Amino acid sequence: MALIVQKFGGTSVGSVERIRSVARRVAKWRAAGHDLVVVPSAMAGETNRLIALAHELQPHPDARELDVVAATGEQVSVGLLAMALIELGVQARSYAGWQVKVLTDSSHGKARIVAIDGERLRNDLAEGRVVVVAGYQGVDAKGNVTTLGRGGSDTSAVALAAALEADECQIFTDVDGVYTADPRIVPEARRLHTVTFEEMLEMASAGSKVLQIRSVEFAGKYRVPTRVLSSLTDPAMAVDEEAQSGTLITFEEDPHMAMEKAVVSGVAAQRDEAKITVPGVPDKPGIAYAILGPIADANIDVDMIVQNVSHDGMTDLSFTVHRNDYPRAMKILKGQVQPHIKCRDVTGDERIAKVSIVGLGMRSHAGTAAKMFRTLAEEGINIQMISTSEIKISVVIEEKYAELAVRVLHKVFELDQE
């Protein structure tokens, strides 16, 4: 029988009734003979409530103390879920991050997991218990409580699966898997039975918000077979059926998987970005840093960065930021950067969308990019920026064309066909 780590999000444990439903699902897997480690998030809304309290006391809460407060949400969930399991007659025991222990660095609010001591959990599993472990949190070398940041429970689950060498990490969520495109935009979108972790990584960064990108990275690094599946199905669904549901993130090395892969696996659109261009800058060493350094110093994350060849020693640098950061980024560029590098202007546009196609097959198939660009051109959609990785092509287009672009690309790459 297998060792399985199951992660349930905040909505799945958002009420006493839902916690009972999660317990029934876990109990069913236990009854089928599997060893189980369960990682619930905080009850929906709880982490926000705690963080709001902190902000009432301090506009910029002390990072160490904020973690002390925020970590309690998951501690409540693990205790309640363990009770629900015990009430069903399942032996269960809960642990906070410091009890396991989940050792992290000391970056409060965005800590990284350094090591997990699985000894205690292995003993409990050997004695027949389901262990319920608080996600999102850990403890640093000095014994301070840390949290991993938003979506950290996904990362906790994958990290636990890696440390315990689990057979599978199951991420239960409110979607039933990874799709070739957003089904709300493309009704013909298909659920993928498998996706490689590299594709998943590109999809996560391309706006398909099924899994936190850090947890996907973790899954890839430690080769943890990770399955995304629905927590909205009947908890009594047969184990054999549930085990095949959702989407499994796999590794390319499996030749069977690679052979049956299509060129393109999915299309995604991201609409919460803004484009910024610094035109006519001298094409000399240090210029990109002079522009993006102050942006990074202001803790603004930059997504796409594009710089083309220069003409007459001058070039243009363009990049995208989250739309919320756009006003701040423009202020920094006009106030600090423009006077310093003496560029002639800084321009920007909030009404853009980034559309990406992702697929492992692109590596060996020439012409994918050309096909994408031709398809968009035929629809009269102008491409403003292009950026590519080995398995992804992203373009920036006018926002109003985002849905149309996704639909036509989904069709031209035959993603609606099995």
Q: What is the DSSP letter of 298?
A: T
36, 38, 39, 78: which one contacts a second copy (CB under 8 A)?
78
Q: Examine residue 244 and tell whether it contacts a second copy (CB under 8 A).
A: no
Name every residue whose Cβ is closer than 8 Å to that of residue 314 and which is 6 or more positions away in sequence: 280, 281, 282, 283
Site membership for a second copy, residue 82 (CB under 8 A) = yes
Our CB check for a second copy shows the closer of 73 and 246 to be 73
Query: Which of 83, 185, 287, 404: binder of a second copy (CB under 8 A)?
Result: 83
Q: Which residues are CB-neighbours of 134 under 8 A, at least 6 positions away? A: 39, 40, 71, 74, 75, 77, 78, 94, 95, 96, 97, 156
186 binding a second copy? (CB under 8 A): no
The residue range among 77-85, 270-278, 280-288, 315-323 that interacts with a second copy, by the rule CB under 8 A, is 77-85
Stretch that binds a second copy, among 87-95, 177-185, 311-319, 354-362 (CB under 8 A): 87-95
Say which residue the tokens 């399985």 belong to: 4
Instruction: Show the beta-strand stretches assigned E in 66-176.
Output: 92-95, 102-104, 113-116, 130-133, 137-139, 145-147, 168-173
Applying CB under 8 A, does 361 fall inside the site for a second copy? no
DSSP labels, 150-183: TTHHHHHHHHHHHHTT-SEEEEEESS-S-BSS-T
Question: Phi/psi of residue 224, each to 5°?
Answer: -90, 115
Q: Which stretch binds a second copy (CB under 8 A): 62-70, 206-214, 313-321, 399-407?
A: 62-70
Closest CA to 359 of 371, 368, 347: 368
Query: Could you identify the residue written with the tokens 């706006």?
Result: 207
Which C-beta is closer to a second copy: that of 62 or that of 272?
62
Instruction: Write down the least CB distance from residue 97 to a second copy, Å.
Output: 12
Which residue in 212, 177, 205, 231 sits closest to 24, CA to CA?
231
Q: Choose, by CB under 8 A, the member of 2, 31, 45, 53 that binds a second copy.
A: 53
The secondary structure of 177-201 as a DSSP string is: S-BSS-TTT-TT--B-SEEEHHHHH
Asked if 125 interacts with a second copy (CB under 8 A), we say no
Kindly state whether residue 349 participates in binding a second copy, applying the rule CB under 8 A. Answer: no
| Pair 167, 179: CB distance under 8 Å | no
Contact region with a second copy (CB under 8 A), list: 55-63, 182-190, 191-199, 315-323: 55-63
User: According to CB under 8 A, which one of 58, 123, 308, 388 is a site residue for a second copy?
Assistant: 58
Contact 319, 305 (CB under 8 A): yes
CA-to-CA separations, 297 to 107, 110, 111, 320, 338, in angstroms, rounded: 17, 17, 19, 16, 16
User: Based on CB atoms, which residue is closest to a second copy, 70 or 397?
Assistant: 70
Query: Is residue 86 close enough to count as binding a second copy by CB under 8 A?
Result: yes
Closest to a second copy by CB, 119 or 378: 119
Q: Which is nearer to a second copy, 13 or 337 (CB)?
A: 13
* For a second copy, the closer CB: 82 or 210: 82
Residue 232: which of 5, 3, 16, 25 has the closest Cα? Answer: 25
Nearest distance in Å: CB 19, a second copy: 6
**Is 94 an interacting residue with respect to a second copy (CB under 8 A)?**
yes
Q: Which CB atom, from 72 or from 107, has the smaller least distance to a second copy?
A: 72
- Residue environment code for 353-391, b if the CB has 16+ CB neighbours within 10 A, otherwise e: bbbbbbbbbbeeeeebeebbeebbeeeebeebbebeeeb
* Alpha helices per DSSP H over 299-414: 326-332, 338-341, 368-378, 402-412
Regarding 64 and contact with a second copy (CB under 8 A), the answer is: yes
Nearest approach, Cβ of 255 to a second copy (angstroms)? Answer: 46
| 72 lies in the binding site for a second copy (CB under 8 A) | yes
- Rounded to whole angstroms, how far apart are CA atoms 325 and 207? 17
| The two structure tokens encoding residue 403 | 């849905």
Q: Which residue in 21, 41, 75, 170 binds a second copy (CB under 8 A)?
A: 75
Indicate which single residue of 39, 71, 291, 405 sits in contact with a second copy (rule: CB under 8 A). 71
Among 26, 84, 211, 321, binds a second copy (CB under 8 A): 84
- Site residues for a second copy, 14-43, by CB under 8 A, read 16, 19-20
For binding to a second copy (CB under 8 A), which residues are involved?
16, 19-20, 50, 53-54, 56-58, 61-62, 64-69, 71-72, 75-76, 78-80, 82-84, 86-87, 93-94, 96, 98-99, 143-145
